[in-house]
A = this chain, B = another copy of it.
């Protein structure tokens, strides 16, 4: 496994900048009296973050089709969905967090009611953005509809929302089974990673075989990302993470280190890294941006 190299970091920086510029255009009020709700939406949406879901979609498009302008709005939609999920997760009735990326959480700034609505607004706007995407090769009406369905399934009650519901039900539970932990993680983070990769591949006209290999890659990547996240929550540096270290751990949330210990968590993560590389190799996609992203996810410090 290689350390993340300069090329990938530059690519990620360029993606982040492109996506944030487009988000700034896409999420603007069209009338004076919706200024406040847009302010709340933009506060969380444009407050930074790695834009990893968008980076992933752009990388898949670049690898499969050779360019990525045709997935840019879909990548922005994914970031809107991610931002909505963070706003709702931080609510007092959910994780009750005061800080996110070193800033006060949405409800601490705008109040709980507006935070609920800001999340609702971002989720809805994601689908408006998707449905309004330009139809031009390789994007067809049919592929765009499939992309909307994939993203909805990944974000919905069989995907991310299900993961959050399972997480809430298990928080504080005396004993979290390994199977439940895997389910929660696969749903909470993995489902949206999978949707991002599949949606970008479908929009880019990937064959069924490539789509299937990329799906296996996405599942591995989601697992790597989440295990590393759990481990960083234990060992990470507070300033780098922008939230209190150990905050999930101390709430007895289901996490890999809590269930397996750090050493075994690291081993499971490396196993997932290997299976992700295998999936890429099957379609001759080793040594691409996608393999670099996998290595990055396993070694990142934040």
CB-nearest residue of chain B relative to A41?
Answer: B157
Q: Which residue from B128, B144, B156, B157 sits with its C-beta under 8 Å from A156?
A: B128
Q: How far is the CA of A144 from the CA of B152 in the complex (A)?
A: 16
Q: Would you call A228 an interface residue if the criterion is a C-beta within 8 Å of the partner chain's C-beta atoms?
A: no
Docked-complex contact A94 and B123, CB < 8 angstroms? no
Q: Would you call A36 an interface residue if the criterion is a C-beta within 8 Å of the partner chain's C-beta atoms?
A: yes
Contacts of A128 in B (CB 8 A): 149, 152-153, 156
Contacts of A152 in B (CB 8 A): 124-125, 127-128, 131
Task: Report the interface size for chain A: residues with CB under 8 A from the other chain.
Answer: 54
Interface residues of A in 135-178 (CB under 8 A from B): 140-142, 144-146, 148-149, 152-153, 155-158, 161-162, 164-166, 168-169
Q: Would you call A249 an interface residue if the criterion is a C-beta within 8 Å of the partner chain's C-beta atoms?
A: no
Q: How far is the CA of A156 from the CA of B125 in the complex (A)?
A: 6
Extra contacts, 17 of them, besides A34-B162, A91-B116, A131-B146 (Cβ < 8 A), are A33-B162, A34-B157, A37-B157, A37-B162, A38-B157, A41-B157, A93-B112, A94-B113, A114-B168, A117-B168, A119-B120, A120-B120, A121-B162, A123-B123, A125-B152, A141-B142, A148-B148
User: What are 16 sample pairs from A and B whose C-beta atoms fall under 8 A apart?
Assistant: A29-B157, A33-B162, A33-B166, A36-B165, A37-B161, A84-B120, A88-B116, A114-B168, A117-B165, A119-B120, A121-B156, A124-B161, A125-B152, A128-B149, A128-B152, A141-B142
